[in-house]
Structure 1
């Protein structure tokens, strides 16, 4: 079996088509209740990793002349520079034949090369073969996450929920207004209150400069970011916000990002107000989008409950698995 590092921007069309076949077949088996993935979504995702998780390195495994597995290492910067995230897809036809294990051992040296001390696998479905595979490699469960989906097709009217007295809504796309950017950066810090178990991931330390860099990353990767914020009228500060991302390679799917309210402004229904406003905007300006995906820590019952009120349904519980790089067995690499 040949395991090759590749660049999704320069890879041969034949290889990209075989990579898509792996991703599509794995998706159909692992997520049968979700719509099939498209070539544009799979390859677009390889070329545009989440800004706060980039850069990424990619490998494929070829056996008997056909690509049968795909591996990605995400290398987040700054406060997460000791952490790497691994994503491994194996074609269902060759699972339980040692392919995934061989790929993981082949790419493990890159963890040390990149100076990483912890490796985590996110979005591993609870009770799945992926969980058992990770356990066999020495990974441990450090967090549980609830994934939810909202189907916009056939959804009734989204309620128009005004903000509580003393607050007003501001919204923007792609770039925060200059008069709010500092306050918005401070509000983004509130997401650090979200329970994330024992994962080594640390939420970004936001400031205005980092907000502008993140916005530039999204423009560069063609991801439209939409923000709705609640502004406290007396102080003029951003008291809370919600975020929606619309990648160009997903023409009918939106991804609900962070939602947070500063501790001193909680208890006024701002989270529900912000999310209803965002959904009303999405339906008005992007009627072709059919679904919204979101996730929250399983321990965050409050946010999951808000999503239920909006019509989201739970579709899977996933795990974060972690392993110390020092204990990754590379003897078979």
Structure 2
């Protein structure tokens, strides 16, 4: 196979090239049953984003005689994760085991090295081709996360009729935190750092009010809408916890449950369940086309998995976070020769 890899710039791509990238996404989606596939228009909108909240976003593809065989992207984080590049490689089953993914990895490494990143991490399906490929290249599995979905069309709404304990009130907003709550909200966001992280090098952001505003601006720029429910301690006005949902315009049938966290001094009071239940009541009342909510939770986080089950979530599969030092990975690839598979 004569492979060619090259950087891919979506805004310079032809409609046929964009369609080919979308078809790769559709082809690899069979590995993730029950996970909805975004519409072509929504996917292209996201593809044209050159940055994420974490940092710069760059893309590559692999072709043989013009036919697209695989795609890849790398995020170059700043701040807490400035030494950890986050990558994704997609190769459909029909073109696997022929060196496509490894060639894409080789194509990314020079830029990762030039940016000064010491480690590289990605997420693959545990026990499947992606994890076997990564482990064969020397990546170590450092964290496992369980993927769950809530099927709104078959779930019992009675599961979402949960109110917070006396002394707490729930507050909702879309996209922009109220000025009187943003400081407390930032503190509550930092509680996610207590969640199980295995041996992963990834570090959660150090949230401040300023960083919350930056995140809000970045999500709006990317075309997303985020909804929040927080629990407020009525005795002192402390934001005791929060939960977050991300909605991508054009993907009206499904959304993503993002972080949920409660400050240590308020844990064990059922606030996580109450906030997430309130979010489900809000979503189903407001978004009649919504059919599914998806989320991932560290497999060690048995408490949150139980909370999700109480709301009607079902477990689909396990995801593995894999990591390698950049220098060690480059050396291993060099030892395999120019056509590593």
Q: Which category of TM-score, normalised to the shorter sequence, fits these structures?
A: over 0.9
Instruction: Give 1:92 shift.
Output: 2.0
Alignment partner, residue 136 of structure 1: 136
Q: Between 105-114 and 182-191, report the one with greater CA deviation.
A: 105-114
CA distance in 2 between counterparts of 1:243 and 1:265 reads: 18
- Quickly say closer, same or farther: Cα 1:239–1:33, change in 2 above 3 A: closer
Could you tell which deviates more after superposition, 241-250 or 256-265? 241-250
Alignment partner, residue 201 of structure 1: 202
Q: Which residue of 2 aligns with 1:223?
A: 224
1:180-195 alignment, distance < 5 Å: 180-195=181-196
User: How many angstroms apart in 2 are the aligned matches of 1:16 and 1:198?
Assistant: 36
* Equivalent residue, structure 2, for 1:164: 165
Evaluate the alpha carbon distance shift between residue 102 and residue 146 of structure 1 in structure 2; reply closer, same or farther with a 3 A threshold: same
Q: Deviations over 1:192-229 (max 9, x none)?
A: 00011111100000000000000001111111010100
**SS across alignment from 1:250:** coil
Whole-Å separation in 2 of the counterparts to 1:258 and 1:197: 17
Displacement, 1:100? 1.1
Query: Residue deviations 1:203-256, cap 9 Å, x none?
Result: 000000000000001111111010100000111010001000101242211100
Per the alignment, residue 11 of structure 1 pairs with 13
State which drifts further: 154-163 or 216-225. Answer: 154-163
How big is each residue's C-alpha offset from its partner over 1:146-178, in whole Å with a ceiling of 9 and x where there is no partner? Answer: 110011113222432221111111110010000
SS of match in other structure, 1:328: helix
Structure 1: runs of 5 or more not aligned: none
Equivalent residue of 2:12, what SS? coil
SS at match of 2:11: coil
> Any gaps of 5 or more consecutive residues in structure 2?
none
Mapped contact 1:3–1:61 kept (Cα < 8 A): yes
Are the counterparts in 2 of residues 245 and 254 from structure 1 also a CA contact under 8 Å?
yes
Tell me which residue corresponds to 1:62.
63
Deviation at 1:4, TM superposition (A): 1.6
**Cα distance in 1 for residues equivalent to 2:51 and 2:251:** 14
* Paired position in structure 1 for 2:246: 245
Query: Alpha carbons of 1:50 and 1:263: their partners in 2 closer, same or farther (altered >3 Å)?
Result: farther
- Which residue does the alignment assign to 2:304? 303
Q: How many residues align?
A: 331
